[in-house]
Structure 1
Amino acid sequence: MSIFSKLFGTSNPSSDEDNGNNSNKPNPDINSPLDEQFIYNFKKNGGKFLYCENLNEVKDQFENILEENDWFESEALCYEPKLFSLLDENKIVYTSTKEPKFLLSSCENLVAEEGSILFSSNQIKQKKPNDLPTNIIILANTSQIVEGKSDGLSAIRKKYLREYPTNITTIKYFEKAKEEDFTQYGSSAKNLYLLLLEDL
C-alpha cells in the first residue's frame, strides 16, 4: 500500500475537493516520510494535488483539469516535447509567444520541507516565476521528492553531468495570502495543479 493510500484512505485520491480539507490532520513531524511532508506543505501553500497510479490516470486527471477550467481547444505554454502529445490529444496549441491559458511542465524536484516545486531552464527556459502564466499544471513522479532545496540542487548536479541547467528557481505560493505576509513579497501566487505519478 502506498503512502498516498494511507494518507487518503483510497487507492486513487484526487484533489482537496474530493478528500476534505485535511485540516484536522496533525502536522507531519520531522520523522514523517518525505512524501507525507511534501503533500502536507504543498497543500498548506494552496497547491492542488492529484495522485495518479499510472499514465492513464494522468491523462484522465489532466482532462478533468481542462474541463474544470474550460481550457479545451485553448493555448498553453510548454517547452518540453515529451509533453506535446498530451496537449495534441486535447486540441491544445502550445505556444511561447501569445497569452497562454496555462503552463504545462515537468519539474526538477519537489521540495518536502517547504512544499515547493523546483524548476530549471529545462522546463521554463529563462522565464522568472512572475513571467509565467498564473495557471500551471505540473507532471512529476514520487521519486522526485527531496527533503530540502540543497538536496534538489545535489540531484540536479548528479542528473546533468555536462550540460548543467540555468535559471534554477522554486515556486512556493499557490494562492494569494489572506493577510499581508512579508515572506511572499515580490512573489506572484500561482494557481497550480500537481499530477503526481507513483513510480516507487
Structure 2
Amino acid sequence: MSLFKKLFGAADSKEEKETENIYNSQHDLPKVPVDERFMLNFKKNGGKFIYCENLDEVKEQFENILEENDWFESEVMCFEPKLHILLDENKLEHANVKNPIFLFASCENLIADEGSIFLSSNQLKQNKPNQLPSNIIILATTSQIIESTSDGLRLIKRKYEKNYPTNITTIKYFDKAKEEDFLQYGSTPKNLYLLLLEDL
C-alpha cells in the first residue's frame, strides 16, 4: 500500500468514526415526547399556552384572557357555531362584525416539530393569515398534537374523505419578527393564546 493510500485511508476512517460518534450521540438522547416538543416549540415561537383539565377551566381561562386584554363586549371573528356559546355567555358580538378584536377558533391539529397551529377553511373560511385580527384565541385538545405538517395533511385526508377543506395553512410566529430574522420574512405574527383541553 502506498503512502498516499495509507494517509488518506487513515483520514477516511478517522472521519467516519467522528461522523459515527456524532450520529450515535444524537440518537442516544432520549426522544422528547410529542406533547412536550409541541409546548417547547410553541413557547419558543412566542405563543401563550394555557392548560385546562376540563371545560369549566376553559371557560374560566377564556374569561381571564378577556379581562387581561379588556376585550369584554368586543366584536369577534368566529366561524364555528360550536364555539358561539362561549362568546354569547360573555356578550361578545360575532355576527356580521366589521372590526373584530380577535379570532376565536378551534384548529385541525397542533404541529409539534414546528410549534405551529394547523388551520383550514373550517376555522378561517377563505381568510388568509394577513386578513385575520392580530389577536387569536385557539381552543384545542391534547389529542390534536401530532408530529408534523405531513401527518396533519394525512389526517385531513382520512377525516374528511371527499369534502376536503380548502385554505389549509399553519400559523407559526406569535412575536413580532426581528429585523435580522429572514426566516419570518413575509409572515404575519399573531398575538396567540392556546387553550389546551386535556382529553386523553
**Same fold? TM cut 0.5:** yes
Shift of 1:179: 3.7
Q: Which residue of 2 aligns with 1:155?
A: 155
Q: Which residue of 2 aligns with 1:102?
A: 102
Once the two structures are superposed, the pairs formed by residues 61-80 of structure 1 within 5 Å of their partners are: 61-80=61-80
Q: 1:177 to 1:89 in 2, by over 3 A?
A: same
Q: Which has the larger radius of gyration?
A: 2
Secondary structure class of the residue paired with 1:93: coil
Q: Which moved more, 1:141-150 or 1:157-166?
A: 157-166
Secondary structure class of the residue paired with 1:137: strand
Q: Distance in 1 between matches of 2:165 and 2:77?
A: 19
Q: Which residue of 2 aligns with 1:128?
A: 128
Q: 1:96 to 1:110 in 2, by over 3 A?
A: farther
Q: Which residue of 1 aligns with 2:26?
A: none
Shift of 1:30: 7.3
Percentage of pairs with the same residue: 72
Per residue, is there more helix in 1 or in 2?
2
Q: Distance in 2 between matches of 1:80 and 1:52?
A: 20
Q: Distance in 2 between matches of 1:48 and 1:187?
A: 18
Gaps (5+ residues) in structure 1? 1-28
Secondary structure class of the residue paired with 1:42: helix
Shift of 1:60: 0.2
Q: Which residue of 1 aligns with 2:82?
A: 82
Q: Distance in 2 between matches of 1:97 and 1:128?
A: 17
Q: Which residue of 2 aligns with 1:177?
A: 177
In the alignment, is residue 45 of structure 1 matched against residue 45 of structure 2?
yes
Q: 1:198 to 1:186 in 2, by over 3 A?
A: same
Q: Distance in 2 between matches of 1:55 and 1:32?
A: 28
Q: Distance in 1 between matches of 2:124 and 2:133?
A: 11
Residue type of the partner of 1:189? P
Secondary structure class of the residue paired with 1:94: coil
Contact 1:112 1:145 in 2 (8 A): yes
Q: Distance in 2 between matches of 1:92 and 1:166?
A: 27
Q: Distance in 1 between matches of 2:71 and 2:163?
A: 35
Q: Deviations over 1:117-176 (max 9, x none)?
A: 000000000111111000000000000001000001111111111211000000000001
Q: TM-score, normalised on structure 2?
A: 0.84
Gaps (5+ residues) in structure 2? 1-28
